Amino acid sequence: MAGSVPEIQIQVNSKKGGNSIHPVEPARTSAGGGPPVVYREIKHFKKWFPWLIPSFVIANVVTFFVTMYVNNCPHNSVSCVAGFLGRFSFQPFGENPLLGPSSNTLEKMGALDVNKVVHEHEGWRLITCMWLHGGVFHLLANMLSLIVIGIRLEREFGFVRIGLLYIIAGLGGSLFSALFIKSNISVGASGALFGLLGSMLSELIINWTIYANKLAVLVTLVVIIVINLAVGILPHVDNFAHIGGFMSGFLLGFVFLIRPQFGWVSQRYASSGYSSTSAKPKFKVYQMVLWVISLVLLIIGFTSGLVMLLRGVDLNDHCSWCHYMSCVPTSRWSCNTEPVSCMSEQTDNQLTLTCSNSNKTRSYSLSNPSTSQIQGLCSQLCR
């Protein structure tokens, strides 16, 4: 009919990502018994070729190899794991159970050290720590997650938005961690990864009307996020970086991943001869409200966080229970991750051990104890 809006076909993409719905415009029309209509995706919903996230994965792997080369375990340690790898061999399990370098090497390569950030003005560590990993297990877990989550998002939204989201969310995770963890170094891409998870949740919310099976997708995504955050309460896991990255990514998703509505798309791609008395807005009111609120919260959060960090504020002093967000102590493990040393003193048949982290002292009746016996007793005393 003349003057009517040309039909915008709806194409449902049921791949991982929540059955997102994509409008497509006709590239040509068919007349009579001509060839069938061919459609192409409009630019607001185009599929991107994912290259940035794979590049990030390669960069992380290369950085790990460089870190292991610098570590050079045979030159700096008495014993190494997988010694046949030469200078790429790993530190002893007792020092690093993740199959990786020493803490000194990670610090040299740019690990997050709050003292150096605050007192030596090395703010770049908030970014460089995102590209370092504590070991092979740590690297594999993060890179597999990055491939699964990141490639899907880059395909949907392009490398610019996902690249910025990844870096800013990672910075948010580092910043939040630095406000709570003052005595240990921190490394890993987990903050940025949780930022991508958070952005998936906010993207679902802000683009709610263009999703099929939205409730099922929402429940599944929330369960995945809760499980991943719950793992962070184990010792030696920096859950503050996870939480900070997730919150940053959640807000960034409202800003970067907003989609135009189909009504506006239909009008925009209508024929030039069509005129409408009621123009459709590009975004719904709730989308714009979420966009503005999220942008304001991001600016306030990052500004106040940086100011507190540079002033040396320790948020643990203002929140007596917040440390439980990163580790919950049980009878099976302790949340004390400060460096521990055990001093031994042998007098006749009397062995005295003193643990540095608790100042515990205990004496044992042993004559010429072996090194493994002393290490076992130290582990029990300092547990």
pLDDT digits (tens, 9 = 90+) for 272-317: 555 555 678 888 899 999 999 999 999 999 999 999 999 999 998 8
Is the separation of the CB atoms in 72 and 180 below 8 Å?
A: no
Find the catalytic residue in 102, 190, 202, 294: 190
Question: β-strands 20-28, 342-347: how paired?
Answer: unpaired
**What is the reported pLDDT for 24?**
44
363 DSSP β-pair partners: 352
Rounded CA-CA distance 124/262 in Å is 42
Which phi and psi (to 5°) does residue 230 adopt?
A: -65, -35
Question: What radius of gyration, in Å, describes the C-alpha atoms of the chain?
Answer: 27
C-alpha to C-alpha distances, 216 to 18, 211, 213, nearest whole angstrom:
8, 11, 6
Rounded CA-CA distance 168/192 in Å is 8
41 DSSP β-pair partners: 24
Dihedral sign for Cα atoms in the order 353, 73, 115, 174: negative
Render pLDDT for 341-377 as a digit per residue (tens, 0 to 9).
Answer: 666 777 767 777 776 555 567 777 666 776 656 666 6
Rounded CA-CA distance 367/369 in Å is 6
Scored b (16 or more CB within 10 A) or e, 171-209 reads: bbbbbbbbbbbeebbbbbbbbbbbbbbbbbbbbbbbbee
Render pLDDT for 233-247 as a digit per residue (tens, 0 to 9).
Answer: 776 678 899 999 999
**What is the reported pLDDT for 149?**
93
**What is the reported pLDDT for 75?**
87
Where residue 63 falls among pLDDT bands split at 50, 70, 90?
very high
Share of the chain above pLDDT 90, in %: 46
Mean pLDDT score, 80-93: 91
Q: Answer with the residue of higher pLDDT: 18 or 83.
A: 83
Flag the least confident range among 69-78, 189-198, 286-295. Answer: 69-78
40 DSSP β-pair partners: 25
Flag the least confident range among 33-42, 166-175, 185-194. Answer: 33-42
C-alpha to C-alpha distances, 270 to 21, 28, 278, 281, nearest whole angstrom:
19, 14, 14, 15
pLDDT at 101 over 80: yes
**What is the reported pLDDT for 340?**
53
Mean pLDDT of the chain, nearest integer: 81
Pure H helices in 103-238 = 103-109, 114-119, 125-128, 136-157, 159-178, 190-206, 214-231
- Nearest to residue 205, comparing CAs of 256, 172, 152, 253? 253
Q: Answer with the residue of higher pLDDT: 256 or 366.
A: 256
Q: Give the chain's domains with CATH numbers.
A: 51-260+283-326 (1.20.1540.10), 342-382 (no CATH)
Rounded CA-CA distance 243/231 in Å is 12
Is the separation of the CB atoms in 365 and 353 below 8 Å?
A: no
Question: Exposed, middle or buried: residue 146 (CB in 10 Å: 0-12, 13-18, 19+)?
Answer: buried
The DSSP letter of residue 312 is T
Catalytic residue check, 121: no
Find the catalytic residue in 22, 133, 138, 242: 242
Q: Which tokens sit at 142?
A: 């993060």
Close Cβ partners of 277 (under 8 Å, ≥ 6 residues apart): none
Catalytic residue check, 320: no
